[in-house]
Structure 1
């Protein structure tokens, strides 16, 4: 019997828009969730006194983030009997990051990202100044968060995804919005 292809959703957007909080709530509801790689890499590089930080070496940071995102995608997509998973950012977020920083995106990165498809519906959280906070891993200004949102949205659209903006609302209403949208998905097709 052939293994059923899992449905892999992406929740993305600029920094500080509530993605991680929403993913945490999806996890509490029993869904498999995959944490953001960028934040983990920043913490790791800070502890190692490394250079792969967005405020020191943007290209190295993007390379580490892309490799980690691709590895997480491969790992999750191979879980036996997995039905649905949600990623806190997807592989294409690295390409969006490079565009935000006006850094050329390597062709091999585009090819590899295109080969690892998620569900066609990608959830994007808009910039939300009222909840935006800086922390040791998030040093962007609110204006940079808006630019990041725009570049990420553009990138997913370029790769053929249907981008669904999650309204600024309470956590429970945002959760309900996503659950209704995934319930309405009649197809588990990914972008090919």
Structure 2
């Protein structure tokens, strides 16, 4: 859908902060499937964690991203996604070699522009939900750029600047 906008890219690059600012400005937002899965799995001592069972995690992220799209179709105006279906499919493909990205084809599309948060070591932090290092985040970032480009999306790198300026950048880009 042309009104479904993905913010993807480097883990720890400020995506969640951007989504919070977009919500503050009155836009509909969808939280990252991975973060929600990790919180749930940690609470119930489950194993579908990226550092325990990456395949189970990626499959669950795909299911949640599909559910998010259905729920978002009921919302009005721009809907901003903190990651999405392509991110989950790219993770599954990376882990298993399955052609998960190819199965997306022309279905479940997002806006033609995908906004990417670049690696930004000055703001990167590890936490209980993100226990991987910066090098792993950069490798994931590079895979995501390749995945989105391979599906015909225009990859737009976000500037390393204050959150409000990044949101203004996104909104201006969506006007063109």
TM range, normalised to the smaller chain?
Answer: over 0.9
Unaligned runs of 5+ in 1: 185-192
- What is the root-mean-square deviation of aligned Cα atoms in Å? 1.6
Which of residues 51, 55, 58 in structure 2 aligns to 1:55?
51
Which of residues 139, 144, 152 in structure 2 aligns to 1:147?
139
Unaligned runs of 5+ in 2: none
SS at match of 1:66: helix
> How far off its partner does 1:14 sit?
1.6
Which of the pair has more CA radius of gyration? 1
* Cα separation, 2, equivalents of 1:172 and 1:92: 26
Q: Return the TM-score normalized by structure 1.
A: 0.86
Which of residues 66, 78, 85 in structure 1 aligns to 2:79?
85
1:120–1:161 contact (8 Å) kept in structure 2:
yes
Structure 1 stretches (4+) deviating beyond 6 angstroms?
Answer: none
> How far off its partner does 1:104 sit?
1.4
> How far off its partner does 1:110 sit?
3.6
* Cα separation, 1, equivalents of 2:102 and 2:43: 30
1:95–1:105 contact (8 Å) kept in structure 2:
no
**Aligned pair in 2 of structure 1 residues 63, 113: CA closer, same or farther (>3 Å)?**
farther
SS at match of 1:43: helix
- Provide the aligned length of Structure 1 versus Structure 2: 176
Quote the residue 2:108 is aligned against. Answer: 116
Q: Return the TM-score normalized by structure 2.
A: 0.94
> How far off its partner does 1:98 sit?
3.1
